[in-house]
Structure 1
Amino acid sequence: MRAVVYLISDGVIPSNIGRGYVVRRLIRRVVRTGRLIGMRGDGHENSEGAFLPSLAETVISLSSEIDPDVESRRKSILGELQREELRFVQTLGRGEKLLDELLDEALGSAGDIGDKPCLSGKDVFLLYDTYGFPIEITAEIASERGVTIDMKGFDIEMENQRKQSQAAHNVIKLSVGNETEIIKSIPDTEFLGYESLFATAVVKGILINGNPVENVSEGTDVEILLDRTPFYAESGGQVGDNGFLYVYGEEGGKQNAVIEIKDVQKSLGNIFVHKGTIKQGSVEVGKKIDAAVDGKLRQGAKAHHTATHLLQSALKSVIGSETSQAGSLVAFDRLRFDFSFHRPLTEKELLEIESLVNQWISDATHLETNVMALQDAKNAGATAMFGEKYGEQV
């Protein structure tokens, strides 16, 4: 229960994917175990009631001196636990009834695995996918009645579902080959993009389809590795910069090459990978280049980045601190802000949020940038997104 309280306090909301599903599984296991020993409601709205808030109250009280943030989020933690418990209880009865029927059928047959009756992987997946039964609960109930479960069949069903579903997160996948080795041999890229949109750098590596090459010519799609760069690499939901790399002849002579950069990603920590196309000429490892970021596009990303902070602040002002950021997309021409909340927003709330954001924009408040230790930023009121990795200085 302590783990659940701390996870929800850190903004991990029960869901069907990623860390949210870990919380959901923990909660549902506690609910079923508690109900088996007769635990029921403690005066909450449902006639059956919810007992998790009472357990959480104890955890919060014991933790308040160690972690004041947990105490400050007491209301949202208790509300989330109550909603999740009551939601699960609604399907628990139907799911248990179906499971009993399936177990009766399994006991009436010889089973396909070992000497024991077996619940098919398809049935286990049905309970998981339709009724929200974590595999551990199904296995536990089946074991109580002397029935095994077909884990291999369940894994096949899960894999089929994964293939049909769009990936929840975009993972940077660099091509197979010698790419990892060459990137490992290169020092971290020095990022200059907060001070300038232009820099002179040295080409430290060139990759084509994941394979290192010494030089490349016009018309080729490439990945360029530099020792320093003004280009922002995609992170924190903000897209990587666009722009150009220029290669000149000796002593600043005639332009030898132009590389259009359409994306910048990070690899192996802090190596910036500039992805683009050779538009003119050729480039080789060791050459000096001029790197120029498209300032207009960067400005669009900056505006949308700031807008996500305004939107988050407006959300918390209108619907309270229960909401937490779940992700974002900060592009040159648009933004998307993902947040967790237990219900849809009303039309009135949407209008209030929109009005607040527009008011703050029209106020044209002067912004100041301060770099400080992560903990100092939190103490000053900065909001950190759970799961996001931050450096020592933010």
Structure 2
Amino acid sequence: MSIDIRNKFLKFFKSKGHQIYESMPLVPDDASLLFTNAGMVQFKDIFTGKIPTPEIKRATSAQLCIRAGGKHNDLENVGYTARHHTLFEMLGNFSFGDYFKKDAISYAWEFVTKELGFSENVLYVTVHQDDDEAFSLWSEHIDPSRIKKMGDADNFWQMGDTGPCGPCSEIFVDQGDEFFHSEEDYFGGDGDRFLEIWNLVFMQYERSADGKLHPLPKPSIDTGMGLERVQALLEGKRNNFDSSIFMPLIQEVSKITNKTYVYENGASFRVIADHARAVAFLLAQGVNFDKEGRGYVLRRILRRAVRHGYLLGLNEPFLYLIVEKVCDQMGGHYQYLSQKKQIISEQCKNEEARFFETIESGMEMFKKELESLPKNTPFSGEIAFKLYDTYGFPLDLTQDMLREKKIEIDIEKFESCMQEQKKRAKASWKGSGDEVKNGDFLELINEFGSNKFNGYEHFHFTSKVLALLDENYKRVKELKNNGYILFETTPLYPESGGAIGDTGELYKDGNKIADILDTKKYFGLNISEIHPFGIIKVNEMLDIYVSSDRYEISKHHSATHLLHASLRKILGSHISQAGSLVQSTRLRFDFSHPKPLNSEEIQSIEEEVNRLIFKSIQTKTELLPIQEARSKGAMALFGEKYGDIVRVISFDEDSCEFCGGIHVQNTANIGGFYITKESGVSSGVRRIEAVCGKAGYEWGKNAIKTLEIAKETLKTQDVHLGILKLKEQIKELKEKNSKSNFLIDLEPIDQVEGVNIIIKKIQSGNIKEIIDNTKNTNEKVAIFLLQQEEQKISVACGVKNAPLKAGEWVKEVANILGGQGGGRDDFASGGGKNIDKIQEALDFAQYFARKKIKEPA
């Protein structure tokens, strides 16, 4: 039924002249947002004026949103309230300088009453206290007694302290007084009886820096209706989780845990059902588990769900099964869920397994601290940090566990521990919007529009200088120091799709006048960074020469397409691109895959790419309507913005992708392809590094040279056989060395409480093996060994059946030597550099051991 509401909404507004827009990615192309959190995000540039003359006037969408991090974070409330979710769908209709209040109100009323079938007797409306126009327009549809005027806090919307803003109007549904009896359950109160379902924002003002409101020349409409909330109301449910959207997932949790779901104590069921949806969509859209940023938020969501599963008695991965249910449930409309179901499930299961390895120990520590905690005392910040650092418990997960006990954490101490830890990855994130926020770019795009790119056909072109900017991105009439140049038409390709931006040279009257250092896109403008040798002026005609590196970049770029196709063929259709870098000397390709590649797989992938290269496939470039391109099977990247007409690059039936980049004319131009490295990037993401073209030739030449050196060194033409013989010789030497370790004089220098104390400086031998051998031949022993190699000192110690901690012992001695050390209670190691302190260190080692062993237990 939830699909019916979504489709009804989109179909209704399409009939009113609105263009349907697909849900934009949850990771937005906006540096100010962690996740897409509202339906208007994909139209933000229109509302803010970055796109002054939009091609469309009316739009509608069903937008997936996440509120689980950054400014908009509902995570801690999920499962404990009736309507908080990490992931939800926002239905919206938008007008960009077209219709305004009258039609927006009329459309809303018609859809709510006619399409959804809500009785007029349960509907109420609020408007801004000064918006008499909206009050009058609503009065044409609903009795004025059901319209309430509210202040700025409730009925005035603004994007920020400055910018577009305006009054809003909200539609409420009366759920009746049967279950709602609080003092706040009146229309306009804070109770749940009157539930808001739709907010209509009348964007009619611009707020300036001085706080004043100025009428916009073209007022716009921005609305939002929560699908989950409407679904529950239409089904007569007082709680979103009781609706047909969530109950199948809750029932699946009940089945897995063999426990009956009861609302009053069912928070864990609800958390798991909710979080499974967010995990499924984030993984499907290319977000991967990580230590920071969006990947860390994803990890927090999963671990919160796993912890609630643990509370229900689950001790092994289970969330992946709920995630599979989400894919089945929502894969009809969001088809990529069905297509990626297997890999999503696998990634989820692997991450769960990693957390389950530590959750038992972490929960044990948590319980012990809780049991010993005096009343009205905050939970230890140090323990909270250790749960985070050692056992992988995010801070808000510990807070969530303490919330049930109404206990706070000593946050100051927690933060202090965070600061003390060296090289701790900061919980920061980097957005993906334009990297330059200031400057005169908007002024340029308003004046000139997007400049033309003709680099597909040209490596050299003569063009007019439209504008110049200094290093602070401010417009200037002439440039004699480093800055930026905007051409009317340019053959220079901007950094995009993983490929670096073009470099080159500028000439005037046959003389070189500047180096082109880089090319990027700023707000739709193709702009190059330059280093002038003289003065460059606006309106001059200059000769642009693209660097020959372009040829090698194009080879590596086309190779990434062939690599992508080969990965899907060899490893499976679950493979999707997770990032890339294309340079003139190498390529890097990140892709979703749950485990490392073995040597056979790497060899097969390399052979498949070379097969396609040697097939001499002519590159086919097409400009197609986006739906036609998709129906043709062209692959698109999540997070990329595409227009109505897209550029499609094909290599026969082997590879077909959306792409705006520079490519070779024929795969044979790529030359040989070599994989140089395969590694992991993050959980569920692998990376292949490779070379081709000129760089491939150099790599092969160096590989042959290295092989010849190996033959000469090993004195054999069969390098493999030579290495095997060498390994056998090393093995024999190790065995001989190990035996010699027993011959070292390790007589105790002292015995305390039956413990043999051995302190010795040795010249050679494997310290670890010597200590292990000594522990095996002594019932009670504390052994400390020191080795000096030139200016470097190594120390290690072992303890068996003695009241002495090796880690503490070696740390104290290493400190005397001007170094550091540490380890387990039974074995530890360290080092230093103060060779003049060696005897002092050995004496202290004996003193420390005697002292600790003699101390009463």
**TM-score, structure 2 length as denominator?**
0.40
* Secondary structure of the corresponding residue to residue 149 of structure 1: coil
Q: Is the 8 A contact 1:208 1:221 kept in 2?
A: yes
Partner of 2:532: 278
* Secondary structure of the corresponding residue to residue 321 of structure 1: coil
Q: Which of the residues 95, 102, 107 maps onto 2:362?
A: 95
Deviation for aligned residue 1:83 = 1.7
Deviation for aligned residue 1:158 = 6.3
In the alignment, the residues of structure 1 paired with residue 422 and residue 561 of structure 2 have an alpha-carbon distance, to the nearest angstrom, of 33
Which runs of structure 2 are paired with 1:179-328 in the superposition (5 Å)?
A: 179=440, 183=444, 186=447, 187-210=449-472, 211-217=474-480, 220-247=481-508, 254-255=509-510, 258-267=513-522, 269-279=523-533, 281-294=534-547, 296-328=548-580
Q: Judge which range, 225-234 or 161-170, deviates more.
A: 161-170
* Secondary structure of the corresponding residue to residue 390 of structure 2: helix
Q: Judge which range, 304-313 or 72-81, deviates more.
A: 72-81
Q: Judge which range, 232-241 or 310-319, deviates more.
A: 310-319
Partner of 1:128: 388
Residue type at the aligned position of 2:536: V
In the alignment, the residues of structure 1 paired with residue 331 and residue 380 of structure 2 have an alpha-carbon distance, to the nearest angstrom, of 45
Deviations 1:273-324 (A, max 9, x none): 2112113x32112222222212x31111111111111111212222223333
Deviations 1:204-224 (A, max 9, x none): 32223214332123xx32211
In the alignment, the residues of structure 2 paired with residue 240 and residue 6 of structure 1 have an alpha-carbon distance, to the nearest angstrom, of 32
Q: Is the 8 A contact 2:468 2:538 kept in 1?
A: yes
Q: Is the 8 A contact 1:257 1:283 kept in 2?
A: no
Residue type at the aligned position of 2:477: E
Q: 1:160 to 1:200 in 2, by over 3 A?
A: farther
Q: Is the 8 A contact 1:224 1:274 kept in 2?
A: yes
Partner of 1:137: 397
Residue type at the aligned position of 1:75: Q
Q: 1:276 to 1:322 in 2, by over 3 A?
A: same
Q: Which of the residues 85, 88, 112 maps onto 2:352?
A: 85
In the alignment, the residues of structure 2 paired with residue 85 and residue 291 of structure 1 have an alpha-carbon distance, to the nearest angstrom, of 54
In the alignment, the residues of structure 1 paired with residue 484 and residue 301 of structure 2 have an alpha-carbon distance, to the nearest angstrom, of 43
Deviation for aligned residue 1:103 = 4.5
Residue type at the aligned position of 1:233: P
In the alignment, the residues of structure 1 paired with residue 490 and residue 423 of structure 2 have an alpha-carbon distance, to the nearest angstrom, of 38
**Match status 1:369 vs 2:621:** yes
**Match status 1:35 vs 2:310:** yes
* Secondary structure of the corresponding residue to residue 609 of structure 2: helix
Deviation for aligned residue 1:37 = 2.6
* Secondary structure of the corresponding residue to residue 266 of structure 1: strand
Deviations 1:29-51 (A, max 9, x none): 2221223233x3xxxxxxx4432
Q: Judge which range, 231-240 or 363-372, deviates more.
A: 363-372
In the alignment, the residues of structure 2 paired with residue 134 and residue 157 of structure 1 have an alpha-carbon distance, to the nearest angstrom, of 14
Question: Identity over the aligned pairs, expressed in percent?
Answer: 35
In the alignment, the residues of structure 1 paired with residue 302 and residue 488 of structure 2 have an alpha-carbon distance, to the nearest angstrom, of 48
Residue type at the aligned position of 1:351: Q
Deviations 1:56-102 (A, max 9, x none): 33322222432333223222222222222222111211222233345
**Match status 1:146 vs 2:406:** yes
* Secondary structure of the corresponding residue to residue 204 of structure 1: strand
* Secondary structure of the corresponding residue to residue 275 of structure 1: strand
Structure with more of its chain in strand, by fraction: 2
Larger Rg: 2
Deviation for aligned residue 1:164 = 6.7
Q: 1:362 to 1:183 in 2, by over 3 A?
A: same
In the alignment, the residues of structure 2 paired with residue 329 and residue 169 of structure 1 have an alpha-carbon distance, to the nearest angstrom, of 18
Q: Is the 8 A contact 1:116 1:146 kept in 2?
A: no
In the alignment, the residues of structure 2 paired with residue 124 and residue 184 of structure 1 have an alpha-carbon distance, to the nearest angstrom, of 51
Q: Judge which range, 349-358 or 314-323, deviates more.
A: 314-323
Q: Is the 8 A contact 2:402 2:408 kept in 1?
A: yes
Q: 1:28 to 1:165 in 2, by over 3 A?
A: closer
**Match status 1:348 vs 2:615:** no
Partner of 1:251: none
* Secondary structure of the corresponding residue to residue 543 of structure 2: strand
In the alignment, the residues of structure 2 paired with residue 387 and residue 175 of structure 1 have an alpha-carbon distance, to the nearest angstrom, of 20
* Secondary structure of the corresponding residue to residue 371 of structure 1: strand
Residue type at the aligned position of 1:260: D
Residue type at the aligned position of 2:335: P
Residue type at the aligned position of 2:632: A
* Secondary structure of the corresponding residue to residue 148 of structure 1: coil
Q: Judge which range, 54-63 or 236-245, deviates more.
A: 54-63
In the alignment, the residues of structure 1 paired with residue 423 and residue 633 of structure 2 have an alpha-carbon distance, to the nearest angstrom, of 42
Q: Is the 8 A contact 1:182 1:212 kept in 2?
A: no
Deviation for aligned residue 1:136 = 2.0
Q: Which of the residues 325, 333, 337 maps onto 1:70?
A: 337
Q: 1:12 to 1:271 in 2, by over 3 A?
A: same
Q: Judge which range, 191-200 or 341-350, deviates more.
A: 191-200
**Match status 1:56 vs 2:56:** no
Deviations 1:121-173 (A, max 9, x none): x6544433432222321111122333323556656776888987699869774
Residue type at the aligned position of 1:95: G
Q: 1:160 to 1:173 in 2, by over 3 A?
A: farther
Partner of 2:23: none
Q: Is the 8 A contact 1:260 1:277 kept in 2?
A: yes
Deviation for aligned residue 1:370 = 1.1
Q: Is the 8 A contact 1:323 1:339 kept in 2?
A: yes
Partner of 1:45: none
Q: Judge which range, 186-195 or 349-358, deviates more.
A: 186-195
Q: 1:226 to 1:154 in 2, by over 3 A?
A: farther
Higher relative CO (CA 8 A, sep ≥ 6), structure 1 or 2? Answer: 1
Q: Is the 8 A contact 2:577 2:592 kept in 1?
A: yes
Q: Is the 8 A contact 1:199 1:292 kept in 2?
A: yes
Partner of 1:250: none
In the alignment, the residues of structure 1 paired with residue 592 and residue 491 of structure 2 have an alpha-carbon distance, to the nearest angstrom, of 34
In the alignment, the residues of structure 1 paired with residue 418 and residue 541 of structure 2 have an alpha-carbon distance, to the nearest angstrom, of 50
Residue type at the aligned position of 1:90: E
Residue type at the aligned position of 1:264: T
* Secondary structure of the corresponding residue to residue 529 of structure 2: strand
In the alignment, the residues of structure 2 paired with residue 203 and residue 125 of structure 1 have an alpha-carbon distance, to the nearest angstrom, of 57
* Secondary structure of the corresponding residue to residue 265 of structure 1: strand
Deviation for aligned residue 1:182 = 5.2
In the alignment, the residues of structure 2 paired with residue 53 and residue 175 of structure 1 have an alpha-carbon distance, to the nearest angstrom, of 40
* Secondary structure of the corresponding residue to residue 535 of structure 2: strand
Unaligned runs of 5+ in 1: 41-47, 248-253
Q: Is the 8 A contact 2:504 2:516 kept in 1?
A: yes
In the alignment, the residues of structure 2 paired with residue 245 and residue 163 of structure 1 have an alpha-carbon distance, to the nearest angstrom, of 44
In the alignment, the residues of structure 2 paired with residue 356 and residue 169 of structure 1 have an alpha-carbon distance, to the nearest angstrom, of 36
Q: Is the 8 A contact 1:103 1:119 kept in 2?
A: no
Partner of 2:178: none
In the alignment, the residues of structure 1 paired with residue 562 and residue 589 of structure 2 have an alpha-carbon distance, to the nearest angstrom, of 11
Deviation for aligned residue 1:233 = 0.5
Q: 1:306 to 1:255 in 2, by over 3 A?
A: closer
